[in-house]
Amino acid sequence: DMTAREQSRFAFFSSASRDALVESHALERDLRRALDNDDELTMHYQPIIEGETIIGAEALIRWQHPSHGMVSPEAFIPLAEESDLIELIGRWTLRTACRQIAIWREQGIRDQKIAVNLSARQFNDPTLLTYLDETLREFAIRPGTLELEVTETSAMSDAAHASTIMSKVRDLGVSIAIDDFGTGYSSMSYLRTMPFNKLKIDREFVQDIASNADRQAICRTLIALAHELKLEVLAEGTETLSEVTMLREQGCNLFQGFYFHKPMPAEELATLLKREFVLPCSHAT
Ligand code: C2E
Ligand code: MG
Ligand code: MG
Ligand code: MG
Instruction: Give 188-205 as a DSSP string.
Output: HHHHTTS---EEEE-HHH
* Residues at CB less than 6 angstroms from ligand 1: 46, 60-61, 72-74, 77, 93, 117-119, 149, 179-180, 203, 236-239, 256-258, 263
Alpha helices (H) along 120-232:
120-123, 128-138, 152-156, 159-171, 188-191, 203-206, 213-228
Tens-place pLDDT, residues 105-162? 999 998 899 999 999 989 999 999 999 999 999 999 999 999 999 988 888 788 888 9
8 to each of 5, 155, 242, how far by Cα in Å? 5, 39, 56
Positive or negative, the CA dihedral 260, 267, 119, 227 is negative
Tens-place pLDDT, residues 17-29? 666 666 778 888 9
Tens-place pLDDT, residues 169-221? 999 999 999 998 887 766 666 777 889 999 999 999 999 999 999 999 999 99
How many angstroms does the Cα of residue 62 sit away from the middle of ligand 1?
Answer: 10
Site to probe by mutation for ligand 1, drawn from 35, 64, 77 as the one with most ligand atoms within 8 Å of Cβ, is 77
Question: 103: which residues sit within 8 A by CB, 6+ positions away?
Answer: 266
Question: 93: which residues sit within 8 A by CB, 6+ positions away?
Answer: 43, 59, 61, 116, 117
3-state class of 215 per DSSP?
helix
How many angstroms does the Cα of residue 243 sit away from the middle of ligand 1?
Answer: 19
